[in-house]
Amino acid sequence: MDELKTKAGNLTDHVSDYIETYVKLTVVNATQKATGVASVSLIAVLVTFFFIFVFFFVGLGAGIWIGEALDDMKLGYFIVSAFYLVCALIVIAIRKKIVFPYVRNQIISKVYE
């Protein structure tokens, strides 16, 4: 009978070790997925930040160039602004078809990696 109690005690020790290890593994997996999603998000924010500056300076340069070509700086800036407005309207029109599914798919792929 003592032998059975010893085996049962060893079994409960192994089960508790198994559960503890499983919990730790789950925490590690969740942390790994969260850091993957965070890194993708951070990279997306940084790329967006740099593209904003690129578009700003390209727009500024194009406005000056067009303004000098037309001998009217205001008209050059208005033409560049109209171009950006058309681009923004196009992005708004197709955002559900192209932009958001791509970002969503990138995040989901990092979660399930």
Give the whole-angstrom CA distance, residue 6 versus residue 30.
36
* Lowest-confidence pick of 26-35, 38-47, 63-72, 91-100: 91-100
Three-class SS state of 77: helix
Q: Which two tokens stand for residue 12?
A: 């409960």
First-to-last alpha carbon distance for the chain, in angstroms, is 49
* Lowest-confidence pick of 13-17, 39-43, 90-94, 108-112: 108-112
Torsion angle (degrees, nearest 10) of CA 66, 59, 90, 48:
170
Give the whole-angstrom CA distance, residue 92 versus residue 80.
18
Please report, for the chain, the start and end positions of each structural domain, with discontinuous segments joined by +: 2-111
Residue type, 70: L
pLDDT at 13: 72
For the question of whether the overall pTM of this predicted structure is more than 0.85, the answer is no
